[in-house]
Amino acid sequence: MHKVPVGVLGASGYAGRELCGLIARHPKLELAFASANEQRGQHARIGPLEITYVATEDAPLGNAEIVFTALPHGASAKWVGNARSTGARVVDLSSDFRPGAGESATNAEYGLTELMRENIPGAEIVANPGCYPTAVLLAIAPLLKEGWVTPGATINVSAASGVTGAGYAARPDLLYAEVAEDFRAYAVGNEHRHLAEMQAVTNELGGRNNDILFTPHLLPVARGILATITVPIEQHTDDPSLLWKDCYSGEPFIEIADAPPSLRDVVRRNVVRLSVTKAAHVRKPTLIIISAIDNLMKGAAGQALQNANILLGLSEQAGLPA
Amino acid sequence: MHKVPVGVLGASGYAGRELCGLIARHPKLELAFASANEQRGQHARIGPLEITYVATEDAPLGNAEIVFTALPHGASAKWVGNARSTGARVVDLSSDFRPGAGESATNAEYGLTELMRENIPGAEIVANPGCYPTAVLLAIAPLLKEGWVTPGATINVSAASGVTGAGYAARPDLLYAEVAEDFRAYAVGNEHRHLAEMQAVTNELGGRNNDILFTPHLLPVARGILATITVPIEQHTDDPSLLWKDCYSGEPFIEIADAPPSLRDVVRRNVVRLSVTKAAHVRKPTLIIISAIDNLMKGAAGQALQNANILLGLSEQAGLPA
Amino acid sequence: MHKVPVGVLGASGYAGRELCGLIARHPKLELAFASANEQRGQHARIGPLEITYVATEDAPLGNAEIVFTALPHGASAKWVGNARSTGARVVDLSSDFRPGAGESATNAEYGLTELMRENIPGAEIVANPGCYPTAVLLAIAPLLKEGWVTPGATINVSAASGVTGAGYAARPDLLYAEVAEDFRAYAVGNEHRHLAEMQAVTNELGGRNNDILFTPHLLPVARGILATITVPIEQHTDDPSLLWKDCYSGEPFIEIADAPPSLRDVVRRNVVRLSVTKAAHVRKPTLIIISAIDNLMKGAAGQALQNANILLGLSEQAGLPA
Amino acid sequence: MHKVPVGVLGASGYAGRELCGLIARHPKLELAFASANEQRGQHARIGPLEITYVATEDAPLGNAEIVFTALPHGASAKWVGNARSTGARVVDLSSDFRPGAGESATNAEYGLTELMRENIPGAEIVANPGCYPTAVLLAIAPLLKEGWVTPGATINVSAASGVTGAGYAARPDLLYAEVAEDFRAYAVGNEHRHLAEMQAVTNELGGRNNDILFTPHLLPVARGILATITVPIEQHTDDPSLLWKDCYSGEPFIEIADAPPSLRDVVRRNVVRLSVTKAAHVRKPTLIIISAIDNLMKGAAGQALQNANILLGLSEQAGLPA
């Protein structure tokens, strides 16, 4: 059976390795190359697959129908261009072409799949969403689209991520003895680089002067993001979860749960799992949405593959663990 | 040197053991008894001290000048009364006599020490604050007292606690294999039993129709609470942290930090460590306060001992790790 | 496509749930029932499968071609008999019918698959090996069969297991706050209940008065076993690993590694991964074998399914993650 | 009250910071300087103390009566000499002057305090023992001194350490996401650099051709070492623990426990905690000793301070948490 060759630039980081592992098990794809500058020439075992890293500049871009770029933010845009010039289509896991970022490209589409599915098939470049924006935007999109959010109200997001969200970087503050048994906020003051992406898409989806106030935290876990989102709404309905169930009906990768999700519900799966609860004991009608994803799956490699499946006309679920 | 005899009812739980350890190292106190019904007759080594548990009903209450009750909520009130009838003064770590709770007693004072210090010396019963309320109320009190909070605004609290906050209970959901590498919200919907205490004291401290919206989370760590609090205020000042530095000037157990605190800054210490940051990119002036405590120390046993020191006319810092 | 119905007794423990998850994804099997007395009537989501537990006594044993018993040791033998009386063949994950155990049955075969493969197809009952014995026996079998071990020498095994090895039991010593950041030996003094199984099979495989001295430890991890085994041998060869490579040539679930394996090499995979190293700086020729497995996969549910595949004449690898 | 000035070279690593924290709380010592080349000029908060690092070459060695060197192995010897030339006495936490190391000095004494206490007072340099050797040698010394070990027998040591044992080094293999939920052996093949120290002291204490076979492991915990030691002995006695109780009678920092110790028994304490158990089910009389220490306390900073107390004629327990 013919398999479609795809390549990964930046394959030694956490997202890159996750992606290679998914490709290795994908029924219709094969890995044409995996690049990693510092590990060039080294071997890595990724699940059932043994790979040898090539230098990024030696990657045979022309051999791939799809090139995934999992390079650092800022370094990616150039390689997206190089890959495009060979005719490959690109799924870019960096922030370089996302809404709110500096770069823009007329041929790039934002790949928050469930919300922008119709834009993907014709895209030359898919800007794969950030991990936090994936968790947050899929959670609040139904409210925004239906106009439920109180105009001018602030949407409060307190989120926590496992350490793989910070990438495979030998930073002293990410050492085991510094992270275990600890918990801390970072980018405090609404200064996280994902804010612009979240705010831009919020506006686009129907926000009515709704500012996002976002505080991320570092969890002593390897993988997973949990976002706790409070949204003032104009008025309550009997069962607010019906809005999400309706909006996401038939979506294989979105789960509307009765009980608040926890990380272990989603780790190693390409899903967003959500719960919606009315806040008691407050005067302003407010919903509390808990949204959980695996930052490396639905928040990165899984969603990238989901988008690639669409680009190639394959089943959107091919090779993805639900 | 004469030492003051004190006793602990409910000494086998996490807070009770922490308290016995502090008493064992305290320069002016000695442990008269430690009760634990299920472990009656058993020995426990707590730091340098070897103790033998007695049944709670066999505890020689009359031998203690201060009785600490670390019994389950609901079970404590009766034993507070028993201890009082022997003439002992009581520091009650349960919620039974706290603001917002069902019980009330004219002779009970709320022991949030830094805010209610003048009420403690004459108290017969000190209702020791809950762990979450300690972290939250000390963080927002300066804002409330100065009238900075926007009237009618909701104060959003997203907090996370280590598992000892749930007590030493053999619940399957608290097993290592269920908690490690996980993170979850609980009491979602503003339904946590600490809410009433926080809301009542918020109102008392100067809240102007400010509802608390509180979502706690369970962290895969043994000890520590971190609360991320967003507060809409009427207008910004140049350096908001000056309000806290001024309000808590000279307090040995309150630290106003430049950088957001993390759990490891406070674990095993009887302190609250706070940071205050202005939220960027939002239209409504908003402060973000990060507040960290050790739930077993400043959130339970440490603050209880701090209150006992006051009751006994000792240095408030005696026997407490800063 | 017709699928073979199989049932699981004791499906709410860690091994039972793992097994249900494997069955749910197996291409040729379907789950006929899953029993759990305490959770009878409750639902559980296991990967893509939603199951409802029945009481063990209500399990329709006759509907299954294979019954897996994952009941507690001692309680299993009776249900093995009940299942047999309906004509089902049984894979018993308890120790009741293993070598060295009190029970014996002429129609039970020990299911250490790679060593006893030829006995499995005709078995009515397969006694699935213990987790520690699987890690240890597959590691030392080549030495024993070839007669390399010094006669009369003690084989020293220091092993460590994740907490799921202790089962899904609400024991206080298995709470997160008691296990995290700790490490301890247990059953010290060569008193572990798996010793008899290891010793009996060691003797059977060719041990020449070689006693096993086994000290297990509890690791602060959810899953995985690592055994560090030192074996005095009569004389060294150039590359001792060749013995294992030769002995296990073609085995899909045994990996002979150049570098010592770690838990993350094997977790969630049905493999044993081994390294063999000569000990330097000692006068007696000695080999150090490091053996790693996932206690819930190759150490329990995975190996059970491997044996069931053989019983049913399926590919031994069907439904098993390598 | 006059305090004795002491200095720390290499104060930014885990052992150096632990040592500064102990000095800060010590009743008779004060910190004259703390050096750290890469962090020169930076501030650090260590418990109640705020310190500013100086470059090692700027450290005012002449201001200290005792200089602690916590520099990397190999780099320490030169600075020991520099400190000596100012007249300071030195406690060297590196391996440079330990038994079995390349360096030697007629004026250096090995500081395994409980065994070599009489040599310390007159020493100019104290070579502070390694962490693993401390745990192992204090455990087996009574057997060696009494001649109980079978001549020619191998002493098997399987030990596990928390990650701070590897130092504060930004190595990718020590990142949280690489260490958590993992366990691995290292230096497999009896190749650890602590072996020479253990073997040399074993011989000196009375070993009769007893080789040490040592396999260390990396634990997913921050601190602590647990060593599981099996020793063939000539014959059993009724209660072997009496030998240790007798040998270490009156030692404040050695605990002979009835039950096997775990890390949490010793973490943050300057003790060795030991258990001794006869091995059942083996023909050769064998003892199993479990030895637990905190690698940063009794295994490094604590023992260094214990030695410094002796050098200064202070109480050996001053400033040390038992």
ipTM here: 0.96
Active site residues of B: 131
DSSP letter assigned to residue D128: P
What region does B295 belong to: left with phi over 0, alpha with psi -120 to 50, or beta? alpha
Decide: helix, strand or coil at residue A43. strand
Which burial class, exposed, middle or buried, applies to D249 when counting CB atoms under 10 A from its CB (0-12, 13-18, 19+)? exposed
Buried b (16+ CB within 10 A) or exposed e, D100-137: bbebebeebbbbbbbbbeebbeebbbbbbbbbbbbbbb
Active-site residue among D59, D120, D131, D301? D131
Q: Do C14 and B177 lie within an 8 Å CB cutoff?
A: yes
The verdict on C258 touching A (C-beta cutoff 8 Å) is no
Are C38 and C64 in contact, with CB atoms under 8 Å apart?
A: no
- Tell me how close the Cα of D231 comes to any Cα of chain C, in angstroms: 11
Q: Which strands make up the sheet holding B89-92, listed edge to edge?
A: B29-35, B4-9, B66-69, B89-92, B125-127, B108-110
**H or E segment and range at residue C287:** strand C286-293
Q: Please give the share of chain C, as a percent, with pLDDT higher than 70.
A: 98
Note the pLDDT of residue A45: 82
Q: What average pLDDT does this structure show over C114-122?
A: 96
Which chains touch A (3+ CB pairs under 8 A)? Answer: B, C, D
Q: Among B158, B267, B288, whose Cβ lies nearest the Cβ of A188?
A: B288
Q: What is the Cα D274 distance to its own chain's centre? A: 15
What does DSSP say about strands D155-161 and D225-232: parallel, antiparallel, or unpaired? Answer: antiparallel
pLDDT band at C1 (very low <50, low <70, confident <90, very high): low
Q: How many CB pairs under 8 A join A and C?
A: 5
Buried b (16+ CB within 10 A) or exposed e, B232-254: bbeeeeeebbebbeebbeebebb
The verdict on B172 touching C (C-beta cutoff 8 Å) is yes
Note the pLDDT of residue C101: 78
Q: Do C170 and B170 lie within an 8 Å CB cutoff?
A: yes
Q: Among A170, A172, A220, whose Cβ lies nearest the Cβ of D168?
A: A172
Minimal Cα distance from A13: which residue of D? D172
In chain B, what residues touch D180 (CB-CB under 8 Å)? 181
Name B81's Cβ contacts closer than 8 Å, sequence gap at least 6: none
Read off the pTM: 0.97
Note the pLDDT of residue A103: 61
Token pair 């004060």 is found at D30
Note the pLDDT of residue A295: 98
Helix axes A131-146, A195-205, angle to 10 degrees: 20
In chain D, what residues touch A170 (CB-CB under 8 Å)? 170-172, 175
Q: What average pLDDT does this structure show over C277-295?
A: 98
Are A32 and A58 in contact, with CB atoms under 8 Å apart?
A: no
In chain D, what residues touch A179 (CB-CB under 8 Å)? 176
Q: Do A176 and D178 lie within an 8 Å CB cutoff?
A: yes
The verdict on B181 touching D (C-beta cutoff 8 Å) is yes
In chain C, what residues touch A267 (CB-CB under 8 Å)? none
Q: What average pLDDT does this structure show over C176-199?
A: 97
In chain A, what residues touch B260 (CB-CB under 8 Å)? 184-186, 188
Note the pLDDT of residue C107: 83
Residues of chain A with pLDDT under 50: none
Note the pLDDT of residue D1: 63
End-to-end CA distance of chain A: 24
pLDDT band at C106 (very low <50, low <70, confident <90, very high): confident
Structure tokens at D297: 């306390």
d(CA C44, CA C50): 6
- Tell me how close the Cα of A125 comes to any Cα of chain C, in angstroms: 32
Are C225 and C132 in contact, with CB atoms under 8 Å apart?
A: yes
Cβ atoms within 10 Å, residue A140: 28
Are D94 and D284 in contact, with CB atoms under 8 Å apart?
A: no
Cβ atoms within 10 Å, residue C259: 13
Residues of chain B with pLDDT under 70: 1, 48, 102-105
- Report the amino acid identity of residue A85: S
- Tell me how close the Cα of A139 comes to any Cα of chain D, in angstroms: 27
- Tell me how close the Cα of D168 comes to any Cα of chain A, in angstroms: 7
Q: Which of C176, C149, C151, C154 is nearest to C163 (CA)?
A: C176
- Tell me how close the Cα of A136 comes to any Cα of chain D, in angstroms: 24
Note the pLDDT of residue A46: 81
The verdict on B38 touching C (C-beta cutoff 8 Å) is no
In chain A, what residues touch D162 (CB-CB under 8 Å)? 177
Q: Which strands make up the sheet holding C29-35, listed edge to edge?
A: C29-35, C4-9, C66-69, C89-92, C125-127, C108-110
Q: Among C48, C181, C322, whose Cβ lies nearest the Cβ of A181?
A: C181
Which burial class, exposed, middle or buried, applies to B284 when counting CB atoms under 10 A from its CB (0-12, 13-18, 19+)? middle
* Chain D residues 217-236 with a CB less than 8 Å from chain C: 217, 219-224, 226, 228, 230, 232
The verdict on B189 touching A (C-beta cutoff 8 Å) is yes
d(CA B104, CA B98): 8
Which chains touch C (3+ CB pairs under 8 A)? Answer: A, B, D
Name D2's Cβ contacts closer than 8 Å, sequence gap at least 6: none
Q: Do A158 and B228 lie within an 8 Å CB cutoff?
A: yes
Structure tokens at C133: 């014995």
d(CA D182, CA C174): 18
- Report the amino acid identity of residue C256: I
Q: What average pLDDT does this structure show over C281-286?
A: 98
- Tell me how close the Cα of B238 comes to any Cα of chain C, in angstroms: 42
Decide: helix, strand or coil at residue A218. strand
DSSP letter assigned to residue C237: -
The beta strands (E) that lie in A63-111 are given as 66-69, 89-92, 108-110
* Chain D residues 263-292 with a CB less than 8 Å from chain C: 263-264, 267, 275, 277-284, 286, 288, 290
The verdict on D181 touching B (C-beta cutoff 8 Å) is yes
Residues of chain D with pLDDT under 50: none
Are D281 and C199 in contact, with CB atoms under 8 Å apart?
A: yes
Q: Please give the share of chain C, as a percent, with pLDDT higher than 90.
A: 92
Q: Among A48, A181, A322, whose Cβ lies nearest the Cβ of C322?
A: A48
d(CA B78, CA A147): 53
d(CA D209, CA B311): 65
